[in-house]
Chains A and B, each alone.
Chain A
Amino acid sequence: MKVGILAIQGDFYLHKKSFDIIGVETLFVRKFSDFKEIDSLIIPGGESTTMSLLLSKYKLDEVLYDFSLDHTVFGICAGSILISKNSNDKRIKNLNIMQFDSVRNAWGNQINSFSDYINIKESLNIDDFYTTFIRAPKFINVDPSCEILASYNSEPVLIKNKRHLAASFHPEMGDDTRLLEYFLKFANE
């Protein structure tokens, strides 16, 4: 299993660090040929406008979409915005990989960024998961093709469909790698 980490912009090194701790091989993905070498893909946190612009400019958006048809992709924060169906924002070209809409910076500016425990569905066996939201998006209009795996204050914060995952928080920040391990298990199914 080799995990690709989209390395256009954002906290891709933190993801590598987490997978190094777990003991899984990773590759920073920046060009077409990189997609041939990976089994799954992380779209990390960062600025969704910057990533969207460069993905379109280098036509990586099309390759990424094709890759998602038969591989697991996990979009985190900015990545979850890109992976969603629509953000109602002309600065973003959504990849439309998962059927929900995202609202950018919906929890407020940086001063409202926060850390807290989130409620994760029991079947994942991840209790007491303390995590961080940085200028995070909210997920709305979640289609029945998606399942809500975790919520915070009644807002969905972790969603999956048959093959893909989206999180509005940062499972790569800090030492708790349980959710990234779940992603690996999910990608192997």
Chain B
Amino acid sequence: MEKGTFKIKVGLAEMLKGGVIMDVTNAKQASIAEKAGAVAVMALEKIPADIRRDGGISRMSNPKMICEIRDKVSIPVMAKCRIGHFAEAQILEALEIDFIDESEVLTPADNSYHVDKNKFKVPFVCGARNLSEALRRIDEGAAMIRTKGEAGSGNIVEAVKHMRAITSEINSLSLMSNEDLMKFSSDNNAPIDLLQETKKIGRLPVPNFSAGGIATPADASLMMQLGAESLFVGSGIFKSEDPEMRANAIVEATTYYDDPKKLSEISSGLKDAMEGLDISEIPEKDLLQNRGW
């Protein structure tokens, strides 16, 4: 019998496809998310919009709070560790969390190394802005990639940029010779074997989800049509005026993403979405997406 193999890790990511993973900060929100049809919840102490507002150092959530959420719901529970903070990751694995997000939303703990995710039995998801960054994370053992977007902004523009970048780079591989691939690999610091595999299969070697800025059912549809296989919604739900209805609407929009008539019904009757930020209003040093490399 085998446990914790790469195939088993990717297996859970496959099961989460076509669904919505919601950020929750307590057991009550977790229950709302589950009832609204979330495929998983991300347990964290503060949603990204509040992390951005409050500043300071943002760390792994308190294990007690993570366990309260885990005990409340039957769907998979995810939790975040800081970039490079393998001790936080070890604690999350000991808690038997279903998926660990090595996340730029928290303050990075290491300026040179990401966590060696191959050493863990629990699967990891990591953010990426482009193909090379995605492949570096997969090389380290990530079983799922998500666009970074700009967490807590309520603005979809960065998630769109990152998803389009990954897709167009994958498409451009199909025309490359082996020499081109080697040059691309050294220019962009992308693992050559994973580049070759990506070229062969025409997509990332692991599921490719989207995160960072999704706030409406239309945002969900947009990201799914651009090639996201599932969605993470952070601040978009519990920063809105109608979390329950909005959560449910985004779940339905993810299933019926290519049916504009259904989407119009789903979007009707929602109250105001979260307030968003124009990305140009965020000082460069405060952009969460630039954490990690």
Contacts and interface: CB of A to CB of B under 8 A. Distances in A.
Contact of A173 (B7, B39, B97, B251): B7
A165 interface: no
B53 interface: no
B175 interface: no
Contact of A111 (B1, B18, B121, B255): B121
B255 A173 contact: no
B15 A54 contact: no
Contact of B18 (A7, A89, A132, A134): A7
Contacts of A77: 15
Interface in A10-28: 10-14
B192 interface: no
B96 A46 contact: no
Contacts, number: 115
Dominant secondary structure of chain A at its interface with chain B: loop
A110 B14 CA distance: 13
Contacts of A113: 3, 8, 11-12
Interface residues of A, number: 38
A156 B228 CA distance: 36
B74 A91 contact: yes
Contacts of A138: none
Interface of A: 7-14, 30, 45-47, 49-50, 53-54, 57, 77-78, 89, 91, 104-105, 108-116, 132, 134-135, 170, 173-174
Interface of B: 1-5, 7-8, 11-12, 14-19, 34-40, 74-76, 93, 96-99, 121-123, 251-252, 254-256
Nearest first, the 9 closest Cβ-Cβ pairs linking A and B are: A110-B98, A11-B14, A116-B1, A47-B39, A9-B18, A109-B96, A53-B37, A50-B37, A134-B11
